[in-house]
A and B are shown apart, each in its own frame.
Chain A
């Protein structure tokens, strides 16, 4: 089998991994080939609109495990292949020189044993770092049940390491991934957290201390294959950010490909709208100072499909608004729907030169479509006059309907799908429904 065929098989079986970011590490070049930039860099976007930053492949898609949801499970009849470390290192270098990629994302099926598989991955990374003197970005997957010293070695070679938590709860994990245990996943995650911490500490003491996964750790979980609520999931993420200092948690909408009584029927749509809402909530946790209990609660455990979580929070807390852009602290500006970290920073800068009007805000690039209902400015000292229906019409997230109306039923599994034949009808129904609840 030639490298081209291997690449096709091993990219095809790696593509369901969500993470492709190359962020978190700043390293200048000059020593050999390559550098990394803090913000990461997207090199292309595939037809599904996802960023292609890294050469995302598996070392091999042979696997001794039989996880029910996974395309690479032992019992699935698919073509199998394995890269040799030499082939993969050479391919990475040639793609990198041509600026196709920012580096390598290396995961693997479990071939023979977790340790053997990880040794193959380490061999590849050692070739890249030592023989080719390659200093571009490397993201490596830690395979559960790998011995500690191999995980440590992997972390010294990679910029980022991740262990997939796979499912939002232990019950689902036991049911759908019988060969992996919660403990086997959390053990390397904890080890990596410790490794990163002591690496940073050593670096403060000795300039040449080895760098362990300097771009940090991430994880991902599959959404929609198991019954956990959105509230459960964001509580879990908040816990992971807190306890393991993860850089990112990725959510991957389950794509039903397998027929199994324990899983959603094969051929169904992946819950993309729900995944979208989870990412929005995730940003609120990481960048906007929200606590999970402000976003959802035991009483309302799932997202409002029609509004993004920040709008939803704002319309349920109208008593806090309008806030005056000329005086409000930055943390409060960040709570306004439509104002993000960039806009908030610009407002704080510009208001030192004089009181700001809504026209000033527009020229500064603040998008007022949603924000106008929540702010007061020089020309609108008591805020914008609005009707309930007007607010809802502007706040309703247009992307809801581009995901297709059938997705809306995912949010209320007990009720049948919203009985709408067209997108416009669905929107009108949603507006009526929201007006009643606010």
Chain B
């Protein structure tokens, strides 16, 4: 175990919170002030029956804000974006790992960010890398369709990448109206009349594609097929660069 435990004693309890970032910070606050390290921290949505007694930690904005401010003050400025990125990642037990990471950071200060060989720190960085890598691929692999002048795309990422995609597409398509629906996390980035927001959304019904839209899809498919050189056929290399799980939302494979 890491050197975090002098701030908190391991205890047989489970924290349950509302799933928000402020909720998570409230859990951190509770852990530090009660000097307990829970066995896990679960969003209430994902709560499974457990042997451990669960405590519900209410989200309190002022406590959350104190924790948030303490990160750049007591650890390092770069630690805050790291923590808030990993919070959106698909790392299992991310809340518990982040809590341990913060406790370690409070004890060690800025050097925690350089301890790349530490089992916990390397796990945190790997989760960040996984999210940013997925985002990078999606910048290229997202496919919009035109529905009467507005653009819509569907993605099924493992990490919650929408906040990281927003800036790129807003800058690129600033004069358009567009929507990116994240089916996995049931949320959408909506950009309309030059303002953007991320909203929760259960499902998305898209209308039939117009003739013009179908023509551009067909042209893209034929370009995709034509541009490959038969004498260099190498499907393994293609899968390495573009894992199959992305194909379901890409025009050239549908």
Interface, chain A (partner B; CB < 8 A): 3-4, 7-8, 11-12, 15-16, 28-30, 32-35, 37, 41-53, 55-56, 91, 94-95, 97-100, 102, 136, 253, 255, 269-270, 272, 346, 349-350, 352-354, 356-357, 359-361, 363-365, 402
Interchain residue pairs with CB less than 8 A apart (23): A29-B174, A30-B174, A44-B224, A44-B250, A45-B237, A46-B227, A46-B228, A46-B238, A48-B232, A48-B233, A49-B232, A49-B240, A50-B228, A50-B232, A51-B241, A97-B146, A99-B153, A100-B143, A353-B114, A361-B117, A363-B117, A363-B119, A402-B236
Given A46-B224, A49-B232, A55-B223, output 20 extra A-B contacts at Cβ < 8 Å.
A15-B229, A35-B168, A37-B168, A42-B241, A44-B242, A45-B238, A46-B229, A48-B234, A49-B237, A50-B232, A52-B227, A53-B140, A56-B227, A98-B143, A98-B145, A255-B231, A255-B232, A352-B111, A359-B117, A360-B117
- CB of B235 within 8 A of CB of A99, answer no
Q: Which residues of B contact A43 (CB under 8 A)?
A: 140-141
Any chain A CB within 8 A of the CB of B81?
no
Q: Which residues of A contact B140 (CB under 8 A)?
A: 41-44, 53, 99, 102
Q: Which residues of B contact A41 (CB under 8 A)?
A: 139-140
- CB of B116 within 8 A of CB of A8, answer no
How many A-B contacts if CB must be within 8 Å?
A: 157
**How many Å from the CB of B37 to the closest CB on chain A?**
22
Q: Which residues of A contact B73 (CB under 8 A)?
A: none
A30 vs B242: C-alpha distance in the bound complex, in angstroms? Answer: 29
Q: Which residues of B contact A30 (CB under 8 A)?
A: 171, 174
A352 vs B117: C-alpha distance in the bound complex, in angstroms? Answer: 11
- CB of A33 within 8 A of CB of B172, answer yes
Interface-side segment among B1-9, B47-55, B182-190, B211-219: B211-219
Q: Which of B144, B145, B238 contacts A47 (CB 8 A)?
A: B238
Q: Which residues of A contact B215 (CB under 8 A)?
A: 4
A55 vs B223: C-alpha distance in the bound complex, in angstroms? Answer: 9
- CB of A44 within 8 A of CB of B218, answer no
**How many Å from the CB of B149 to the closest CB on chain A?**
10
- CB of B174 within 8 A of CB of A98, answer no
**How many Å from the CB of A309 to the closest CB on chain B?**
20
Q: Which residues of B contact A100 (CB under 8 A)?
A: 143, 220, 251
Closest partner residue, chain A, to B175 (CB atom) = A33
**How many Å from the CB of B206 to the closest CB on chain A?**
14
Any chain A CB within 8 A of the CB of B173?
yes
Any chain A CB within 8 A of the CB of B222?
yes
Closest partner residue, chain B, to A16 (CB atom) = B229
A53 vs B251: C-alpha distance in the bound complex, in angstroms? Answer: 15
Q: Which residues of A contact B118 (CB under 8 A)?
A: 363
A28 vs B220: C-alpha distance in the bound complex, in angstroms? Answer: 26
Interface, chain B (partner A; CB < 8 A): 111, 114-119, 122, 126, 139-146, 151, 153, 168, 171-176, 215-216, 218-220, 222-224, 226-238, 240-242, 250-252
Q: Which residues of A contact B231 (CB under 8 A)?
A: 255, 269-270
- CB of B171 within 8 A of CB of A29, answer yes
Q: Which residues of B contact A99 (CB under 8 A)?
A: 140, 142-144, 153
Q: Which of B117, B174, B176, B229 contacts A356 (CB 8 A)?
A: B117
Given that A91-B219, A98-B216, A269-B231 are contacting pairs, would A32 and B175 also be in contact in the complex, using a CB cutoff of 8 Å? yes
A431 vs B111: C-alpha distance in the bound complex, in angstroms? Answer: 45
- Give the residue among B236, B238, B250 with the most A Cβ atoms within 10 A: B238
A282 vs B114: C-alpha distance in the bound complex, in angstroms? Answer: 32
Q: Which residues of A contact B142 (CB under 8 A)?
A: 99
A12 vs B235: C-alpha distance in the bound complex, in angstroms? Answer: 19
Given that A98-B220, A99-B153 are contacting pairs, would A29 and B172 also be in contact in the complex, using a CB cutoff of 8 Å? yes
Given that A35-B172, A99-B143, A272-B232 are contacting pairs, would A357 and B227 also be in contact in the complex, using a CB cutoff of 8 Å? no
Closest partner residue, chain A, to B116 (CB atom) = A350
Q: Which of B126, B151, B171, B229 contacts A97 (CB 8 A)?
A: B151
**How many Å from the CB of A355 to the closest CB on chain B?**
10
A52 vs B221: C-alpha distance in the bound complex, in angstroms? Answer: 12
Q: Which of B126, B141, B144, B223 contacts A98 (CB 8 A)?
A: B144
Q: Which residues of B contact A51 (CB under 8 A)?
A: 241
A30 vs B176: C-alpha distance in the bound complex, in angstroms? Answer: 11
Closest partner residue, chain A, to B229 (CB atom) = A48
A7 vs B216: C-alpha distance in the bound complex, in angstroms? Answer: 11
Closest partner residue, chain A, to B137 (CB atom) = A42
**How many Å from the CB of B250 to the closest CB on chain A?**
7
- CB of B226 within 8 A of CB of A8, answer yes
> 7 tightest A-B contacts by CB?
A49-B237, A360-B117, A46-B228, A29-B171, A48-B232, A350-B116, A49-B234
Q: Which residues of B contact A37 (CB under 8 A)?
A: 139, 168
A11 vs B228: C-alpha distance in the bound complex, in angstroms? Answer: 10
- Give the residue among A3, A97, A102, A357 with the most B Cβ atoms within 10 A: A97
- CB of B233 within 8 A of CB of A47, answer yes
- CB of B171 within 8 A of CB of A365, answer no
A100 vs B224: C-alpha distance in the bound complex, in angstroms? Answer: 10
**How many Å from the CB of B159 to the closest CB on chain A?**
18
**How many Å from the CB of A327 to the closest CB on chain B?**
16
Q: Which residues of B contact A364 (CB under 8 A)?
A: 116-117, 122
A361 vs B214: C-alpha distance in the bound complex, in angstroms? Answer: 51
A356 vs B114: C-alpha distance in the bound complex, in angstroms? Answer: 12
Q: Which residues of B contact A95 (CB under 8 A)?
A: 216, 219-220
**How many Å from the CB of B119 to the closest CB on chain A?**
6
**How many Å from the CB of B67 to the closest CB on chain A?**
25
Q: Which of B126, B143, B222 contacts A365 (CB 8 A)?
A: B126
Q: Which residues of B contact A42 (CB under 8 A)?
A: 140, 241
- CB of B224 within 8 A of CB of A98, answer no
**How many Å from the CB of A90 to the closest CB on chain B?**
10
Closest partner residue, chain B, to A272 (CB atom) = B232
Q: Which residues of A contact B175 (CB under 8 A)?
A: 32-33
A3 vs B218: C-alpha distance in the bound complex, in angstroms? Answer: 11
